[in-house]
Amino acid sequence: MSGDVQGVDDTSGGAESGPRGGGDAKGGRSAQLKHTGLRSGWTTGACATAATTAAYTALLAGDFPDPVTITLPKGQTPAFALAAEELTDSYAMAGIVKDAGDDPDVTHGALVRATVRLLPAGSGVVFRAGPGVGTVTRPGLPLPVGEPAINPVPRQLMREHVAEVAARHGGSGDVEITVSVDHGEEIARSTWNPRLGILGGLSILGTTGVVVPYSCSAWIDSIRRGVDVARAAGRTHVAGCTGSTSEKTVVAEYALPEDALLDMGDFAGAVLKYIRRHPVDRLTVCGGFAKLSKLAAGHLDLHSARSQVDKGFLAELARGGGADEPLAVQVAEANTGLAALQLCQAAGVPLGDLVAATARDEALAVLRGAPVAVDVICIDRAGNVVGRSAVRGPAD
């Protein structure tokens, strides 16, 4: 069973869908993707944004743009062909088939639809879950209970494109957007959504709009190449990042150049084992709190299909950080790692720092005395630092 992550989504350094291979001698995350020879794809959030843009344009201008072009957060401007369209006096619907590139993604080929209806002035943009899109029923996710499972970044992207279409065609920008995915409820059974309390279908995801395909062997090879390039460039401090948000965090923290950034994805073990044989002075590991709690628990493969957040482990860490027994029980029973973190934050228990320090120690254990100092930074979905460790080397 895979997590509802639609590939390893949004860890792109800006690669467009389509490029394969290449002999780029530069380092960094874009070079890693080129080195794999794998074709990137688009998230459900990007598809929903494109469908929304086409539908709202048709509602205001009387015709669907086909293909429809959107602008993603990193500046890419992909064009999407319409697979379905319907225009009536009261609504417009456009549908786009998701292309996940070369990623083995359960949502590859799914038809993502957006139905747009005009609302009275001042209503803003209202999101609805149509057939095949889930609804949040438990706390601990980045959306309140009762909301459609359309994540914050795709919502913002859709709002921005609605505003652009409104400005171009004289609309007010007040619309209801219903996102649906054909057969989405059936597809969602192959994800973690039901266990997370997202019921009725899939989540609409994406932070950059791009799905980076992670073939294990190809991506691990690209990580090794990234370490080699960093060492050849004389970099003494590199960072293993789980995604684009964590990359931004380490750049802001340490002003690291592109060729010092390793797109680790879920392969923490690949980074640590290769750096053990090819050391650098310092390694920063940065990623989402939940992912790095898996590293803290001893998992070297952080993919949701191969390791899960252990809330019992988090409860033990919380106890060690001063949590009383009722709080520890709440942490153990939390719906998600984020919910566990929020419980501890409210109680003043530094669970984020505890996870970061424990993950650092696990990393040092894998490095087996190699002359590498390590620190770990945990972030939330918005990129806020929620935990960090001190820098420690093998002799400390």
Q: Which of 210, 243, 259 is the last residue of a domain?
A: 210
Q: What own/partner pairs with CB < 8 Å and gap ≥ 24 does 160-168 have? A: 161/49, 161/52, 161/53, 161/56, 161/70, 161/71, 162/52, 162/53, 162/56, 162/125, 164/53, 165/53, 165/56, 165/57, 165/60, 166/56, 166/60
Q: Identify whether residues 106 and 199 lie together within a single domain.
A: yes
- Give the pLDDT confidence score for residue 244 in this predicted structure: 86
- CATH code: domain of residue 125: 3.30.2110.10
Dihedrals φ, ψ of 324, to 5°? -80, 175
The total number of structural domains in the chain stands at 2
**Angle at which helices 152-169 and 44-61 pack, to 10 degrees?**
20
Q: Is residue 24 part of a domain?
A: no
The yes-or-no verdict on residue 294 having pLDDT over 80 is: yes
pLDDT tens-digit map of 52-78:
999 999 999 999 999 999 999 889 999
Q: Identify whether residues 90 and 68 lie together within a single domain.
A: yes
Q: Whole domain around residue 363: which residue ranges? A: 215-388
> What's the rounded Cα separation, in Å, for the pair 288 and 298?
16
Q: Identify whether residues 186 and 74 lie together within a single domain.
A: yes
Q: Identify whether residues 248 and 164 lie together within a single domain.
A: no
Instruction: Give residue 29's pLDDT band: very low, low, confident or very high (50, 70, 90).
Output: low
Q: Which of 173, 191, 210 is the last residue of a domain?
A: 210
Spatial CA neighbour of 153 closest among 44, 302, 69, 249: 44
pLDDT tens-digit map of 350-387:
999 999 999 999 999 999 999 999 999 999 988 999 99
pLDDT tens-digit map of 301-351:
876 666 789 999 999 999 999 999 999 999 999 999 999 999 999 999 999
Q: Identify whether residues 162 and 190 lie together within a single domain.
A: yes
> What's the rounded Cα separation, in Å, for the pair 87 and 80?
18
Q: Identify whether residues 74 and 130 lie together within a single domain.
A: yes
> What's the rounded Cα separation, in Å, for the pair 392 and 377?
13
